[in-house]
Structure 1
Amino acid sequence: MIATLGAAALAASALLAPSGASAAPAALAAPDISLANVKAHLSQLQSIATANGGNRAHGRPGFRASIDYVKGKLDAAGYQTSVQSFTYNGSTGYNLIADWPGGDTNNVLMTGAHLDSVTAGPGINDNGSGSAANLEIALTIAREKYAPKRHLRFGWWGAEELGLVGSTNYVNNLASTERSKIKSYLNFDMVGSPNPGYFAYDGDGSSGSGGPAGSAEIEQTLRAHFQSINVPVQDTAFDGRSDYGPFIRYGIAAGGLFTGAEGRKTTQQAQLWGGQAGVAFDRCYHSSCDTTSNIDDTALDRNADAIAHAVWTLGGDGGTTEPPGDTVFTDDLESGTGWTVNPNGTDTATAGRWERGTPQPTSYSGTNLQLAAGGGSGALVTGAAAGTDAGTYDLDGGVSSVQSPAIALPAGSKTLSFSWNLAHLNNSSVDDYLRVRVVGPNGSTTVLDRAGAASNRAGSWQTQTADVSAYAGQTVRIVAEAADTGTGSLIEAALDNIKITK
């Protein structure tokens, strides 16, 4: 990120969604983005910098190696990629553009991040963080076979640190007819700062000048994810500091997220988000210490999931994460099909055990915990009834398991998909979990492993897919386990819409 904005502008920002703002559109179910995968990309960018003079700056070999790394991942995933070159300060720079096949090419949703660092360091937070998060979301789209109504495009920009050079070159050199097809642009620059704040670009102008028409919708869509996990968000100036600048100059709706740079966290912000007051959001901003040690995992994880939420929501209500092909097994849980609770007789839960039923929504202090079914009225759920309060029928006392009927898988490749929810309050911990396994005659594979945490996690239906081709020709069962172990916690888990296709 190019340096222009100090602490004063951040301190003046507004808390939470501005009053009178329109609500974000209802989201398609976005998958959980793997933090481990995002960090693996960051490790690769760090290795590239280390091998190339300690940076990934414009005109340096580390930047071209970064482009090649990202392009190789996208090519293997099925993206249509192109590398565009430009000249600045006597050196060749590059932009990488990646298009996901399908969708309405007259209605493009573009997501971008700058890939270059300053010459002083490897640029892992600025902006390996945004680049790696966007890359993993692009790869998740391919794994999920996501097919929205809108056409999806990603960009990794060069020479941002020298004044938005790469993104400006891209936008300026598009034919006007092509430029007019880009209806929305999402920008992510520094989303893992070590002393993080949670900022959204002020698309609706509630704290200053807003963006082009449609920017308010983007802002509210991004805020919706943080609202669902009870993390307050402040506005940050929509002043063209990062690569959205060239887009908004042409009237293209834009938005994005930011966790802070050289500005210092105020006392109020430290009370809001934790961390250190009076200290920079990123103490290694534009410095040699901007390495893989300069990342806050929680901020990176939350922002990656928020980006996915925005892409899946804004991609259009025709989107689907359902894998194509003939159906081998399907269960919408609307009627009994032979699922067995406590199949091995080893469960320890004392309440809220798995059952097939109609889940009654529950909440505690504004945090939604148990949700209505993901489709129809039935689901597998830990204690379907609401009770007198949210804790009456939640999972308590240990582990509860449930097992599907036997499923005979024919030969050939197979994909399992299902909807899931795990919600908890901040009395949870990593000892709590939701796990789903495919069990065959010679072993099992864990296809979902979601742990609790000491924070409020609002309920949200997510979609999980997994390749189960290794079990072709075998008879398998699906086993789900939910646990409230360690200290007592308020935990709710659910599964719905289970399908295996070929």
Structure 2
Amino acid sequence: MRSRLLRAVGVPALVVAAALASTGAAPYASATSAAVGGPVGVLAAPDIPLANVKAHLTQLQSIATANGGNRAHGRPGYLASINYVRAQLDAVGFTTSVQSFTYSGATGYNLIADWPGGDPSNVLMTGAHLDSVTAGPGINDNGSGSAAILEVALAVARANLTPAKHLRFGWWGAEELGLRGSQYYVNNLPAAERTRIKQYLNFDMVGSPNAGYFVYDGDNSDGVGSGPGPAGSAQIEQTIQAYFTSIGVPTRGTDFDGRSDYGPFIAVGIPAGGTFTGAEGIKSSAQATLWGGTAGSAFDPCYHRACDTSTNINDTALNRNADAIAYTVWELAATAPPPGTTVYSDTFETATGWTANPAGTDTATLGQWVRADPAATSSGVATQLGTTVSGTFDLVTGPLAGASAGDHDLDGGVSSVQSPSISLPGSGTLTLSFSWYLAHLNNASSADYLRVRVVGGSTSTVLNVTGAATNRAAAWQSASVNVSGFAGQSVRILVDAADASGASLVEAAVDDVKIVQS
């Protein structure tokens, strides 16, 4: 990361839904319960092994040690770092290329790696700078980000991932001299290629020894500083926040201040985001209370120094951030839909016969399920989204905004809505997919929930997300479930949500329901 004092924003950033009570450094737990007739197919990212990430850091340290103690631009240690990363990627099926450029009389290199498949007009790019300063080996800055995204790329290969978006990874040269490598890459992209990159994820210093947990403020929810990133940056922020919320780790926003390689991307309107664990800035007492560590000390006391070695890493922070990167790549790339025939599809742009309170047993006094064009509402965090997954309408618990966020939220008990009868074919693999969110404030509890069930000859719960005493902002999530156990039956999809915690604020929504036969 380039030298310049970072202003660490102290205002809580957006906290997003990921409801499933996973704690510590565990991977994100899918919100879908046991599938019917087969394995769950939710976009579930793998747990990135910390040992693998640290093994890459050991290699980068060895490279620096063998090459004058650094991996800086124009020095042999940098080219050796490029060759190491490239060899890992070539071995598992990535298409790699090295882009050379000249700065300050020396040759620099960017490494670009593309995973086969995905929509080439819809590229999700993930990057980190690979160079160090001349003073030291740069293991936290930025071996940590480089090693983490390398292991995520290798996890893509291990999973043989077939994403809907095209996945590209980049390792940048000469960042420490002013973002020279990433700037060269963006400047030399043909206009048509530039428009194909829809989002860029940047990870620079993700293992600081006195770590903080910062997420780039894509929607300017901190209200100060550099302002929001290009449209689409907020989705990146919210997705990253979803992972940290799922493991119970609070985060804070940090501005796009131009210090790292997102800069050239947002300058041309490409949405960006990422995580950061702190550089030379001083951890405050409030931050030490929030995250642990030492108040009054730098997040990284070895920032740009010779002591930024393999011992200058917080394993917990590195592990959490590596898993957050994987979660974000998996979520934003999305799994390609299975080929085959669409049996049922509803985007809720027209009325198709869903019935509210189908059993006549609902107890909610407000916030009944309706098909509607929802109004955006918030109370510190977004509680109801004014945007849907596609089109204008979705299924939502009370679509109006009102004078305050709680005027039309779900209140008083259970609200349910049920699809019309759906006749399923008797053969093939049947996959139900849909988008959803559950939002609530910190007056909620585990008694509040969003649940989706398939009802036929038997009933199966395919989504069961419960509340908690924390703010959880609305953010669309995706689910995909094998329902082949219902083959040959007529089924209905039953959605219900509950506000059962007294005076709690709860909102929920569902969109883009589909069943595909393959």
TM-score tier after normalising by the smaller chain length: 0.5 to 0.7
Contact 1:23 1:220 in 2 (8 A): no
* Aligned position for 2:264: 246
Deviation at 1:241, TM superposition (A): 1.0
* Aligned position for 2:152: 137
Deviation at 1:17, TM superposition (A): 1.4
Taking the aligned partners of 1:367 and 1:233, their CA distance within structure 2 comes to: 22
Taking the aligned partners of 1:183 and 1:199, their CA distance within structure 2 comes to: 23
With over 3 angstroms needed to count, the CA separation of the structure-2 counterparts of 1:372 and 1:301, relative to structure 1, is: farther
Taking the aligned partners of 1:63 and 1:374, their CA distance within structure 2 comes to: 54
Deviations 1:103-141 (A, max 9, x none): 000000000000000000000000000000000000000
Aligned residue for 1:187, secondary structure, equals strand
* Aligned position for 1:110: 125
Aligned partner letter, 2:303: Y
* Aligned position for 2:303: 285
Taking the aligned partners of 2:299 and 2:199, their CA distance within structure 1 comes to: 28
1:165 to 172, 177, 180: 180
* Aligned position for 2:65: 50
Aligned residue for 1:50, secondary structure, equals helix
Taking the aligned partners of 1:73 and 1:374, their CA distance within structure 2 comes to: 43
* Aligned position for 2:14: 17
Aligned partner letter, 1:14: V
Deviation at 1:318, TM superposition (A): 2.4
Aligned residue for 1:154, secondary structure, equals strand
Q: How does 1:144-223 map to 2 (within 5 A)?
A: 144-207=159-222, 208=224, 209-223=227-241
Contact 1:29 1:461 in 2 (8 A): no
Deviation at 1:149, TM superposition (A): 0.5
Aligned partner letter, 2:155: T
| Fraction of identical pairs, as percent | 66
* Aligned position for 1:475: none
Deviations 1:51-105 (A, max 9, x none): 0000000000000000000000000010000000000000000000000000000
With over 3 angstroms needed to count, the CA separation of the structure-2 counterparts of 1:198 and 1:168, relative to structure 1, is: same
* Aligned position for 2:2: 2
- Please list every run of 5 or more consecutive structure 1 residues that lacks an aligned counterpart in the other structure: 321-330, 333-364, 391-459, 464-502
2:82 to 31, 56, 67: 67
Taking the aligned partners of 2:14 and 2:242, their CA distance within structure 1 comes to: 9
With over 3 angstroms needed to count, the CA separation of the structure-2 counterparts of 1:462 and 1:233, relative to structure 1, is: same
With over 3 angstroms needed to count, the CA separation of the structure-2 counterparts of 1:317 and 1:146, relative to structure 1, is: closer
With over 3 angstroms needed to count, the CA separation of the structure-2 counterparts of 1:22 and 1:304, relative to structure 1, is: closer
With over 3 angstroms needed to count, the CA separation of the structure-2 counterparts of 1:14 and 1:89, relative to structure 1, is: same
Aligned partner letter, 1:301: N
Deviation at 1:462, TM superposition (A): 12
Taking the aligned partners of 1:192 and 1:374, their CA distance within structure 2 comes to: 41
Contact 1:96 1:155 in 2 (8 A): yes
Query: TM-score, normalised to structure 1's length?
Result: 0.63
Q: How does 1:332-481 map to 2 (within 5 A)?
A: none
Q: Which has the higher contact order (CA 8 A, sep 6+)?
A: 2
With over 3 angstroms needed to count, the CA separation of the structure-2 counterparts of 1:182 and 1:279, relative to structure 1, is: same
Taking the aligned partners of 1:278 and 1:103, their CA distance within structure 2 comes to: 47
Deviations 1:205-252 (A, max 9, x none): 122311000000100000110000111100111122100000000000
Aligned residue for 2:91, secondary structure, equals helix
* Aligned position for 1:359: none
* Aligned position for 1:271: 289
Taking the aligned partners of 1:40 and 1:32, their CA distance within structure 2 comes to: 16
Deviations 1:416-442 (A, max 9, x none): xxxxxxxxxxxxxxxxxxxxxxxxxxx
Contact 2:161 2:335 in 1 (8 A): no
With over 3 angstroms needed to count, the CA separation of the structure-2 counterparts of 1:134 and 1:462, relative to structure 1, is: farther
Aligned residue for 1:96, secondary structure, equals strand
Query: TM-score, normalised to structure 2's length?
Result: 0.61
Taking the aligned partners of 1:30 and 1:372, their CA distance within structure 2 comes to: 22
Aligned partner letter, 1:151: H
Contact 1:374 1:461 in 2 (8 A): no
Taking the aligned partners of 2:322 and 2:203, their CA distance within structure 1 comes to: 10
* Aligned position for 1:298: 316
Aligned partner letter, 2:133: V
Contact 1:159 1:166 in 2 (8 A): yes
Taking the aligned partners of 2:92 and 2:58, their CA distance within structure 1 comes to: 20
Please state if 1:37 is matched with 2:52: yes
The aligned length equals 343
Contact 2:18 2:245 in 1 (8 A): no
With over 3 angstroms needed to count, the CA separation of the structure-2 counterparts of 1:49 and 1:372, relative to structure 1, is: farther
Deviations 1:6-62 (A, max 9, x none): 3xx21x3321417xx899999721111110000000000000000000000000000
Contact 1:147 1:319 in 2 (8 A): no
Aligned partner letter, 1:113: A
* Aligned position for 2:255: 237
With over 3 angstroms needed to count, the CA separation of the structure-2 counterparts of 1:378 and 1:296, relative to structure 1, is: farther
Aligned partner letter, 1:155: G
Taking the aligned partners of 1:165 and 1:81, their CA distance within structure 2 comes to: 20
Deviation at 1:157, TM superposition (A): 0.2
Could you list the structure 1 runs, at least 4 aligned residues long, displaced by more than 2 angstroms after superposition: 21-27, 316-320, 365-368, 370-379, 460-463
1:310 to 328, 332, 339: 328
* Aligned position for 1:79: 94
Taking the aligned partners of 2:332 and 2:88, their CA distance within structure 1 comes to: 24
Taking the aligned partners of 1:268 and 1:82, their CA distance within structure 2 comes to: 45
Aligned residue for 1:180, secondary structure, equals helix
Aligned partner letter, 2:264: P
Aligned partner letter, 2:11: A
Contact 1:16 1:232 in 2 (8 A): no
